[in-house]
Amino acid sequence: MQSNNNSYRKLNPSQHVFELYLFVNPIGLKCLNSEHEVLHFIESLELNEGFKVHFRFLTFHNFNTVTQYMKRLNMPTNDLQLRNQIYETIYEASLAYKAALMQGKKRGRKFLMLLQKELNINMAEYSSDLLIEVAKGANLDVEMFLEDKASSFVKSSYDADQK
């Protein structure tokens, strides 16, 4: 009797592509750490296992994101003015990341991670000057970056990501 074991096929790395989406707070330290872990994991899969991985970091903002951020920094969560300011900062940082992505995925990721590092490790204050400094650090065309950030295309593209 011949055994026909077609129900099990060994996973062949060259035939499989994984898609990975990581939703992140563009100003959050936990998200920066998660991004580093994901990049390390992807590198390991591609180098050691031969798998191909397509991935995207998607920024998002909502009231839960703001609350978690405020709690992590021991901010009063009932301060509505502060809450609105943080909400707006997360939104603006998300648009900045989306604008940076217009100059390439790697540059966009570098921009995001540099921004998170500046805000969380170096304790820089979020500002237009900081965005320009980070854009330069990510080797972006700063003039184009600022134009893209203000464009309706970036805003509608970000809104599409939120859905």
Instruction: Please state, as a whole number, how many other Cβ atoms lie within 10 Å of the Cβ of residue 33.
Output: 12
What confidence category does residue 7 fall into, taking pLDDT thresholds of 50, 70 and 90? Answer: very low
pLDDT of residue 99 exceeding 80: yes
pLDDT tens digits for range 16-63: 777 888 888 889 878 878 887 888 888 887 777 777 888 888 888 889
Instruction: Please state, as a whole number, how many other Cβ atoms lie within 10 Å of the Cβ of residue 113.
Output: 20
90: phi > 0 → left, psi -120 to 50 → alpha, else beta; which? alpha
Average pLDDT, the chain: 86
Please enumerate in sequence order all residues whose Cβ is within 8 A of that of 135, keeping only pairs 6 or more positions apart, or say none.
100, 111, 142, 145, 146
pLDDT at 8: 37
pLDDT tens digits for range 105-149: 999 999 999 999 999 899 999 999 999 999 999 999 999 999 999
What confidence category does residue 10 fall into, taking pLDDT thresholds of 50, 70 and 90? Answer: low
pLDDT at 6: 46
Cα angle 79-88-23, degrees, rounded to a multiple of 5: 105
**Which H or E element spans position 22?**
strand 17-24
Domain boundaries, the chain: 17-156
CATH level 3 topology of 17-156: Glutaredoxin (3.40.30)
Please report how many Cα atoms fall inside a 13 Å half-sphere around the Cα of residue 99, on the Cβ side: 24
69: three-class secondary structure by DSSP: helix
